[in-house]
Amino acid sequence: MSASTNSVPNSSTGSKKSLKAFSDDIWKNKTAKINAELFTLTYGSIVSQLCTDYERDFVKVNNQLFLMGYNIGMRLIEDFLARTALPRCESLAKTSEVVSKCAFKIFLNVTPQVGNWSSSQDAFSLFLDENPLSDFVELPMDAAKELWYSNILCGVLKGALEMVQMDCDVFFTSDVLKGDQTTELRVKLNRVLKDEIPAGED
């Protein structure tokens, strides 16, 4: 709040904060917001329109949502980095923390739980306790089998991580909309694209 009057370079304020406090601050004070219901309903109408357009071929709908997400993610990562200026994560554990506590917080105001690590530490799951995309949603019988309603999120993560040189597979393994207990989003790191890391960093 006092930022504009503060002309003295301060190198310490805020730098001791935890990642959670850091992202809370960015979400609260630095990010313009829109009405959550408008957002939910807009997404809902996109999915419903896709189902009509693809004549209820839900595999195609899933793919299309993923592709849309991918294109969003590739661009959204710049917004995320401009906003946070976080350095490169040194491990996938750190990445998972940044994705859940920072990225999801800033863009969707939720903090999914990280868990279900694979034994080789190259895959983790995000448990979405609340999913702003799927408020008010009930899937019709025919869609409940195949449609991953929030598949756009997978695409966004895939696109965003790829732009910071992490080649990942991202997919849903369960969704409360389908009657599962939890909404679980799996992220599996295939490899770090070392050749593409810009010069000047490790």
Site residues, another protein (CB under 8 A): 1, 3-19, 22, 29-32, 74-79, 81-83, 85-90, 94, 98, 163-164, 196, 198-202
CB of 125 to another protein, least distance (A): 22
CB of 169 to another protein, least distance (A): 20
Joined together, the tokens standing for residue 74 give 């590739």
Tell me the CA distances in angstroms from 12 to 8, 9, 16, 17, one per residue in order.
12, 9, 7, 10
Sequence-ordered list of residues with C-beta below 8 angstroms from that of 139, at least 6 positions apart, any chain: 147, 149, 177, 178
Identity of the residue, 59 or 197, whose beta carbon is nearer to another protein in the bound complex = 197
Identity of the residue, 34 or 141, whose beta carbon is nearer to another protein in the bound complex = 34
Identity of the residue, 168 or 177, whose beta carbon is nearer to another protein in the bound complex = 168
Identity of the residue, 179 or 198, whose beta carbon is nearer to another protein in the bound complex = 198
List of long-range contacts for 191-199, beta carbons under 8 Å, 24+ apart = 191/167, 192/165, 192/166, 192/167, 193/162, 193/165, 193/166, 193/167, 194/165, 196/165, 197/165
Report yes or no: 171 and 152 within 8 Å, Cβ to Cβ.
no
Nearest in space to 24 (alpha carbons), one of 80, 104, 105 = 105
Identity of the residue, 11 or 119, whose beta carbon is nearer to another protein in the bound complex = 11
CB of 118 to another protein, least distance (A): 23
CB of 116 to another protein, least distance (A): 23
CB of 124 to another protein, least distance (A): 18
